[in-house]
Amino acid sequence: MKKELAIDQWKRKEHFEFFRKFEEPFFGITTKIDCTKAYRNAKESGQSFFLYYLYQSLIAANSIEEFKYRIEDEKVVIYDQINASATINRPNDTFGFSYIYFNEDPALFYELAKEEMDRVSKSTQLFPLVSGDDVIHYSAIPWIDFTSLSHARCYSFNDSVPKISFAKLTETNGKREMSISVHVHHALMDGYHVGKFIETFQELMNNQSNTLK
């Protein structure tokens, strides 16, 4: 479900009108996330670390309204819920796009995510069975400890979906860290909102109560 945002009453109306005209309206921020507690929680509960941090990032994104904004037909809409379209690696070194429904129940989220990951890994199709703008485009690049990232973009295609990428997990003196890259449409949000997401995501990664069961 979604509803239309009243642009004329929006405090960011002028920002929206300015940045939406850019050939490249996306901006990106890359930072480090402390994963020490999250990694331990995931392993102690016998869960996939990828699904563990994907779940936490979806909680963070759904808690910030601006991450639910999308531009559709010259309008701004607000989705009730944002899901994940994550790249899933295959044994033949290719990947496919998935559609993973977010559910606040961690056990149900994990069950549905595992089913979708298994389906995509066994498929030869690039695109998921379900598609739409009610997602965040996720990707994991666990082979590279990147410090910045750019995305392939088709400028003729109207795209306002946030893109979040995760790097290789590293360990130094017992501390585990992972770079995260967040690219968002500047007509819809600013660095302040990305900062809120990063802060919330880090808090959730430190919170053992959000462990998948």
| C-alpha to C-alpha distance for 204 and 189, rounded to whole angstroms | 22
Q: What pTM was computed for the model?
A: 0.95
Residue 21, domain CATH: 3.30.559.10
Structural domain for 127, as ranges:
2-210
Please compute the mean of the pLDDT values over residues 170-178 and round it to a whole number.
97
Tally of domains in the chain = 1
**Does the active-site annotation cover 186?**
yes
| Span 189-213, pLDDT tens digits | 999 999 999 999 999 999 976 565 5
| Span 113-154, pLDDT tens digits | 999 999 999 999 999 888 899 999 999 999 999 999 999 999
Q: Check: CB of residue 213 under 8 Å from CB of residue 72.
A: no
Q: Give the residues across from 31 on adjacent strands.
A: 180
pLDDT at res. 90: 96
DSSP-assigned letter for residue 8: G
What does the mean pLDDT of the chain come to?
A: 96
pLDDT at res. 165: 98
* Percent of the chain whose predicted confidence (pLDDT) is above 90: 93
pLDDT at res. 131: 85
| Span 65-121, pLDDT tens digits | 999 999 999 999 999 999 999 999 999 999 999 999 999 999 999 999 999 999 999
Nearest to 210 by CA among 109, 100, 64, 111: 109
Question: For residue 73, how many other CB atoms are within 10 A of its CB?
Answer: 7
- What does residue 47 show for φ and ψ, rounded to 5 degrees? -110, 160
pLDDT at res. 101: 97
What single string gives the DSSP state of each residue in 9-61? G-TTHHHHHHHTT-SS-EEEEEEEEE-HHHHHHHHHTT--HHHHHHHHHHHHH
Residue of 137, 183, 185, 186 marked active site: 186
What single string gives the DSSP state of each residue in 79-141? ES--EEEEEEE-TTS-EEE--B---SSHHHHHHHHHHHHHHHHT---SS-SS--SSEEEEEE-
pLDDT at res. 129: 85
